[in-house]
Amino acid sequence: MVGKYFKKFFSRDYGPFATEFASLLGYPTWKEVQKNSYAIFYTENDDFWFVTELTDGQWAVWKEEGQMPYHFTVFYTWNEAITHLRGLFDESALPERHWINNAPKKKFGDLVDKETQIQTLLYGNALVFACETLGVQDMRTRKYSEVFTVNNEEVYEYISIHGPPQNKSTSKGSQDEGFHYNMEDGKWFTFFRERGQIFDEKSFVDEELGKRYVVKTLLQLSGTGLY
């Protein structure tokens, strides 16, 4: 039903109004808008919310309501656009079946720049970020690989330039739990603390090996299962 409505909406001839709207979005024809638009959710009145990829890489959010040209809001990234729409959807209290998220066929990771991916894996919450990007409440039916496409080497190169995330404390006397690491006199020292106990202590004379171990461990701790 939804698919038929979607096709009918874009195949309908709206004349100069559609051409005007397409022009505002940066496209020469309504057909080009169709190729680059994705239905995200629909209301009780069967009004659809769409996201359109613009020619400059940004994303326009608009609602099929009233007459063209429709009002639209531009976001820098797909993630920002979807987060905005998910907020509107949650506020509307619509049934979950109304959430379509007719997303681009290319990987979401291609829509999220690599630096943002890396910063999220190292400093942020990969689960929350992935859910927001995919427009879902959890990852039970989706894969982290849809969002995170960077590899270990790219993260290693980033840390080599910017340094690893700063530890709250590098002292064994600290009560902070989790993974600890620091470099002294050209050597890397790492350990885990859990429930007041220190375990899996390591030291690396080779600076590069130590740094790679830190990168690998941080990526594994991100919880994506990709590294």
For the stretch 15-57, pLDDT in tens is 788 899 999 999 999 889 988 898 899 998 888 999 999 998 8
Q: Yes or no: say if 132 and 79 are a contact pair by the CB < 8 Å rule.
A: yes
The dihedral region occupied by 101, where left means phi > 0, alpha psi between -120 and 50, and beta the remainder, is left
Token pair recorded at residue 201: 């202590």
The pTM of this model reads 0.57
- Domain boundary assignment for the chain: 2-105, 157-221
Give tens-digit pLDDT for 88-115: 999 999 998 888 866 665 555 566 889 9
Report residue 116: phi and psi, to 5°.
-65, -40
φ, ψ dihedrals at 68, nearest 5°? -70, 155
Share of the chain above pLDDT 70, in %: 85
Contact 183, 176 (CB under 8 A): no
Q: What is the DSSP string of 160-183?
A: HHH-PPPPS---TT----EEEEEE
DSSP 8-state assignment for residue 58: -
Residues 141 and 146: their CA atoms lie apart, in Å, by 12
pLDDT for position 171:
59
